[in-house]
Amino acid sequence: MPELPEVEVVKESLSRTITGKKIKKVSIKNRNLRYKIKKGFETRLQSKSIKKVKRFSKYIILALNDEKFCLIHLGMSGTIHLLRKNILNQKTNASFYHSPYLPKKHNHVFLEFDNIKIIYNDPRRFGYFKLFENKNNLENFINNYGPEPFSSKFNLNYLKKYFYKKKKNIKNFLLDQKFVSGLGNIYASEILFSSKINPKKKAKSLSENDCINIIKYSRKILNLAIKKGGSSIRDFKNIVGKNGSFQDNFKVYNRENKSCLSPGCKGTIKKKFITNRSTFFCNICQK
């Protein structure tokens, strides 16, 4: 599943491409995504202009010129393709995962502009589209989630209060979108390694310094991942000719049985399953 940095990369691609443009036509080939696309979706978007492309957590938000909002969630396997007219064999994927070219199957939603077409592809159909009639409705939706790591609300006092007497392990907390929005399996493992915290450690056992490190490294690692274009698990370039290269900076993720990269540490990276999610950590560094 794409995490915050990967969604930020898609948001930037869309922002550069469709901001200020009018949607000429909307077509839906399959309404049966995670939540069924309601009838009337096409007419509510058609002829609207994209005022701004934004992101919250793992959501892309298209702000329309009529003060409505279209929210897009990519789910487990969703990708957005930007198909330009009259260009052959073009790389269309706005992301850094799955095929760089437009697949022939599982293309569900089409938004057409003058010289470009946005196509939503999703083999597993866990993603979805949702329309909000106004800013208040959108904010009510967002308020159901925890703050992003970059938010000033994600601070020491927030963590200490949230973790108080909680027995759940810290890895599961970092994946809990009610606690913090935007993190997923890859970045949770990387953050805990940099913080020198065992992923199975109970939240109530975390020290104040542990909490400070979680805040610090959440921001540092996500900022680096965004700068590097996200994590490209497969080797190909996106539509602007760049590779997502944060995977070159992985310290633990997908490094099972390799030596720990911390200076002076003789530990080995181990892989464990915590709540059915693969978790990577150093058997010595992370206590």
Domain ranges, ordered by start, for the chain:
4-142, 156-250
At the topology level, CATH places domain 156-250 in Helicase, Ruva Protein; domain 3 (1.10.8)
CATH class name, domain 4-142: alpha beta
Interval 36-89: pLDDT, tens: 999 999 999 999 999 999 999 999 999 999 999 999 999 989 999 999 988 888
Strand order in the sheet with 69-73: 50-56, 59-64, 69-73, 128-132
DSSP summary character for residue 38: P
Distance CA 49, CA 62 (A): 10
Distances (CA, A) of 261 to 120, 214, 273: 39, 19, 22
The answer to whether 100 is a known catalytic residue is no
112 as an active site residue: the answer is no
Given the residues 3, 6, 112, 190, the one annotated as active site: 3
Output Rg (C-alpha) for the chain, integer angstroms: 20
The per-residue pLDDT for range 234-264, each reduced to its tens digit, is 333 444 444 444 556 789 999 999 999 999 9
Determine the pLDDT at residue 6.
85
Mean pLDDT, all residues of the chain? 91
pLDDT means per 10 residues in the chain (287 residues)? 86 93 97 96 96 97 97 94 88 81 95 96 96 97 97 98 97 97 94 98 97 98 80 41 57 95 96 95 94
Establish whether 2 is a catalytic residue.
Answer: yes
Question: Checking phi first, is residue 163 left (phi over 0); if not, alpha (psi -120 to 50) or beta?
Answer: alpha
DSSP one-letter code for 245 = B
Active site residue 255: no
The number of CA neighbours under 13 Å toward the Cβ of 148 is 16
Q: Which of 11, 55, 58, 171 is catalytic?
A: 58
* pLDDT at residue 230, as a whole number: 52
φ, ψ of residue 32 to 5 degrees: the values are -85, 70
For residue 211, the 8-state DSSP code is H
